[in-house]
Amino acid sequence: MANTSVSTLLVILFWGLTLATGRKLSPLSTTTTLSSSPSDGICLSMVMPQGKTCEEHLVTTQDGYILNLARIRIRESRGPPVLLQHGLFMDGITWLLLPSNQSLAFLLVDNGFDVWVANTRGTKFSRQHTSLPSNSSDYWNWSWDELVAHDLPATFKYVHDLTGQKMHYVGHSQGTLIALAALSQDQLLNMLRSAALLSPIAYVGQLTSPLAKNAAENFIAESLYNLGIFEFNMRGDSVIKFLKDLCNNTGIDCTNLLTSFTGQNCCLNPSIVNVFLDHEPQSTATKNMIHLSQMIREGTTSMFDYENRDENMKHYGQPTPPVYDMTRLPNDLPIFLSYGGADALSDVKDVQRLLEILKDHDADKLVVQYRNDYAHADYVMGENAHRDVYEPLISFFRLQ
């Protein structure tokens, strides 16, 4: 009980950083964000020290966001490309938090794959735009709809055009949601070999995360938006330092830090929390948090609801937002799906709803893995994930 109470307190503090560090953003101005130096990217900080070849690429979306994309490979590797897409509050470093012999990015490289690590708009390495400064409200005027419509297609096309090959895709959490939504609209299929969905999010109406549920039911994101806080930023230097000191000096098991949000993770080494806090959490748009809150409250997977008939008509040509129809997922697409019994965000009941839709999927094209003890963070930070999840995933890719 004591651990749970401490965990709840810390995570609420963590979540509450938004109010502590949130600032009203300026209206659209004429200044633009300076290009970040390549030395600021994932390659120099996380990959090259491990002796791997790494390149930083910039991808511009149709709506002007400039995304950082890291390419990791063994020199002269001719293996098929794999695109790694992180989840909410994370960036591409998600796939590099674990030691090099355990992280999915490096394991794929060592197995001959050409690995591409995506960074969603608004995260540390993807805060440029062709005309909007990142401190403007217009820069943060997006939800995961725009990740489906712009970020994912631009990234897919860039990798496909440069390599001349179809790619494998790995998504975690929100990274699965945007892929499922795009595939339900017949996007990306001509560039895709297979998709691996870790902690899949197609529905969140049954999630049990007390923190996420409470925030949605109490319209926290909407309140912040109405206060003029358009960047949902949970990272504050003073609080990150406080959490690190707390974890290092008090004997508290800080793997419980995430429990009230993700569920009880089985397999996190306590040292991973310090690594996590060195790089995460990352910002997202407050509008994105509103969109996810709508999904939690309504149990549906629809486009952003402006909750105003005229606004919805203006954006969609109908009074209610269109639904992403998961029944339209192609039955012949090779899918590897892994979910956990302790996951409070990708809840078993919500995953079962997706699996019911996939019941007519070609039997030889669908691999479903259930890990009873896994929660949400285990899939990207668990010290056993390389053995439990990544090795079967890589074997699946080889079959495709």
For residue 242, the model assigns a pLDDT of 64
For residue 38, the model assigns a pLDDT of 45
Residue 86 bears catalytic tag: no
Rounded-to-10 torsion of CA 253, 258, 264, 266: -60
What is the pTM assigned to this prediction?
A: 0.90
**Residue numbers of the domain that contains 105:** 51-399
- Per DSSP (E only), the strands in 240-372 are 284-285, 335-340, 366-371
Number of domains in the chain: 1
Out of 91, 305, 343, 388, the active site residue is: 343
Q: Does any domain span residue 18?
A: no
Q: Does any domain span residue 59?
A: yes
Out of 173, 184, 293, 338, the active site residue is: 173
Out of 376, 378, 386, 388, the active site residue is: 376
**242-282 pLDDT tens trace:** 667 767 765 666 666 677 789 999 999 988 888 888 888 89
Q: Does any domain span residue 234?
A: yes
Residue with tokens 């040509």: 317
- pLDDT tier at 147, thresholds 50, 70, 90: very high
Mean pLDDT of 275-300: 94
Q: Does any domain span residue 284?
A: yes
For residue 257, the model assigns a pLDDT of 67
**329-388 pLDDT tens trace:** 999 999 999 999 999 999 999 999 999 999 999 999 999 999 999 999 999 999 999 999
Residue 168 bears catalytic tag: no
pLDDT at 1 over 50: no
Q: Report the CATH number that the domain containing residue 172 is assigned in CATH.
A: 3.40.50.1820
Q: Does any domain span residue 31?
A: no
Q: Does any domain span residue 253?
A: yes
- pLDDT tier at 319, thresholds 50, 70, 90: very high
Cβ(38)–Cβ(71) below 8 Å: no
- pLDDT tier at 69, thresholds 50, 70, 90: very high
Q: Does any domain span residue 24?
A: no
Residue 360 bears catalytic tag: no
Mean pLDDT of 158-173: 97
Bigger pLDDT: 13 or 100?
Answer: 100
Q: What is the CA radius of gyration of the chain?
A: 20
Distance, CA of 139 to CA of 154 (rounded, Å):
18
User: Each residue of 106-144: b (16+ CB within 10 Å) or e?
Assistant: bbbbebebbbbbbbbbbbbbbbbbeebbbbbbbbbebbb
For residue 158, the model assigns a pLDDT of 98
For residue 154, the model assigns a pLDDT of 98
Q: Does any domain span residue 108?
A: yes
